[in-house]
Structure 1
Amino acid sequence: MRFVVFNQKGGVGKSTITCNLAAISAQQGLRTLVVDLDPQGNSTRYLLGAGADEDRDTAAEFFDQTLKFTLRNQDTDEFITATPFEHLDLLPSSPKLEELHSKLESRYKIYKLRDALDALGARYDRIYIDTPPALNFYTRSALIAAQGCLIPFDCDDFSRRALYALLESVQEIQADHNKALKVTGIVVNQFQPRANLPQQLVQELIDEGLPVLQPYLSASVKIKESHQRALPMVHLDARHKLTQEYLALHAALQPAPARRKAAR
């Protein structure tokens, strides 16, 4: 299963959600890949820590290869690096993705990521794709390559207003390029249950029939420590309330047969 984590608004927790769900998949024995398409590289730094600064092939080199004719192209797995966590690999980001954007868009390389992930075959059980805070070439590539779309929502009125345009964008990609793409759900992030506004905004989404996922992810300063130490929550503090919420959210994303099997 391939999930893209997408929102055009920055600061809503795309990288945090991507890496924490991926870490849980890997810890549960699923062969897992994170694809970091955001030039800021937050997922890359979250999973590699100081190792993110090492010289290695990245998503930029992968996409740059598609612009050139060579007698031998590198296989997709040659751009992938192992993380310190068992069963969890990464296609790292690079600031060079920004420089390549206009060339890739003008040469219409929009299907290259999908083809590359297809070429990996059955190597991975779960793939999570982190995207930039914009509907650009990289985000469209991710939406075309994915089967499920997770939309972070940070309980902000601006985010609520942006949701409708965002859902229209996903529907357009679905109609024109990827009929298999589904909106898996809206991930409520940084939720404060004792505050009136978050409760009101989330309830409005539910009342409108939007696919709001349970459970909601609590606001917690612990996530900042998780970022600083480059340890997803399941590795930093397995008993923490936020970790338990991520575990429950991960379970909710599993196919129905897998959920029934886990319940037994």
Structure 2
Amino acid sequence: MRRVIFNQKGGVGKSTITCNLAAISAIDDKKTLVVDLDVQGNSTHYLLGKKITDPDQTLAYFFKEVLNMNLFGKGDDTALLEGVIHSTPFPNLYVLPSHPELEPLQSRLDARYKIYKLREALSNLQGFDHIYIDTPPVLNFYSRSGLIAAEQCLIPFDCDAFSQEALYNLLATVAEIKADHNPELRVEGIVVNQFQSRANLPASLVQQLVEQGHPVLNSKLSISVKVRESHTASKPLIHYLPDHKLTEEFIALHQELHS
């Protein structure tokens, strides 16, 4: 299963949701891969405890080589991808790291229409039960590549009025990608993040989305300072605080997605 976590708004918890769901999947004895398409590299740092300085050990190498392949026949995209997969300190959990060099590659990749290359490589990648794709907080070449490569799309929603308006545009974007590039893509659900159950506005906004027929997931994620602590420790919550309330919420979300 290839799942993309996508929102064009920053600060909604894409990397946190990506890495924590992936870590729970790995704990569940599933060989799991995180693909970090965000040049900020937050998922990379969260899972490895560092960012990779050598671009040739990251996704930047994969995309550079994709640009160099056409002169002498078709290359092996999947082998390129396999060459930059890193194991994490956590059993069954792997990451394809990001790098700032992805940024200047975008215009060349776009101009030469390499938008399907990630999907082709991931589709032929053997041995992984689950693949989670983290995307940048903007609609660009990499986020479109992630949407085209995925089968399911999770959308984080952080319970404010601006996010609600942006959500409608985002759903339209996903529908357009599905129609034009990836008929397999399905919005799996909207993940309510940073939820305050006792506050009126978040509950009201979530209820509106439900009444409008949007696929809001039952499992909601609370606000907690422990998220930032787990980032600092470079340990997903299932490893950092396995009995914490937020960890239990992530486990419930994972179970809902796989029920």
TM value normalised by structure 1: 0.93
What is residue 185 of structure 2 aligned with on the other side? Answer: 181
Cα offset, 1:220, TM superposition: 0.4
d(CA) in 2 for partners of 1:230, 1:54:
17
Give the C-alpha shift of residue 57 in structure 1: 1.0
> Is 2:62–2:80's contact at 8 Å kept on the other side of the alignment?
no
User: Mind listing any 5+ residue stretches in structure 2 that lack a counterpart?
Assistant: none
Partner of 1:18: 18
What CA distance in whole angstroms lies between the structure 2 residues aligned with 1:126 and 1:187?
18
Q: Which amino acid aligns with 1:41?
A: G
Mapped to 1, the partners of 2:44 and 2:81 lie a distance apart of 17
**Amino acid paired to 2:221:** L
Which of 203, 217, 220 does residue 216 from structure 1 map onto? 220
Displacement of 1:75: 3.0
Map of 1:99 onto structure 2:
104
Instruction: Give the TM-score normalised by the residue count of structure 2.
Output: 0.95
Q: Which letter does structure 2 place at the counterpart of 1:84?
A: P
SS of equivalent to 2:83: helix
Amino acid of the structure 2 residue aligned with 1:42: N
Measured in 2, the distance between the counterparts of 1:53 and 1:116 equals 21
Task: State the Cα deviation string for residues 60-80 of structure 1 (Å, max 9, x = none).
Answer: 111111100376665321011
Map of 1:115 onto structure 2: 120
Q: Identity across aligned pairs (percent)?
A: 60
Q: Which residue of 1 aligns with 2:59?
A: 59
Q: How does 1:73-152 map to 2 (within 5 A)?
A: 74-121=79-126, 123-152=127-156
2:209 counterpart of 1:205: yes
**d(CA) in 2 for partners of 1:105 and 1:197?**
40
Rounded to whole Å, the distance in 1 between the matches of 2:3 and 2:179 is 18
- Long gaps (5+) in structure 1: 260-264
Residues 118-160 of structure 1, C-alpha deviations (whole Å, 9 max, x = no match):
1213x11000000001111111111111000000000111110
One-letter identity of the residue aligned with 1:59: L
Can you list the C-alpha shifts for 1:17-61, whole angstroms capped at 9, x where unaligned? 0000000000110010000000000000000113x2453511111
Please state whether the residue corresponding to 2:242 is helix, strand or coil.
coil
Q: What amino acid sits opposite 1:109 in the alignment?
A: K
Aligned residues: CA RMSD: 1.2
Report if aligned partners of 2:53, 2:99 keep a CA contact under 8 Å in 1.
Answer: no
Q: Which position in structure 2 is the counterpart of 1:262? A: none
User: Which aligned segments of 4 or more residues in structure 1 are displaced greater than 6 angstroms?
Assistant: none
Give the partner amino acid of 2:200: N
Q: Give the corresponding residue for 1:159.
A: 163
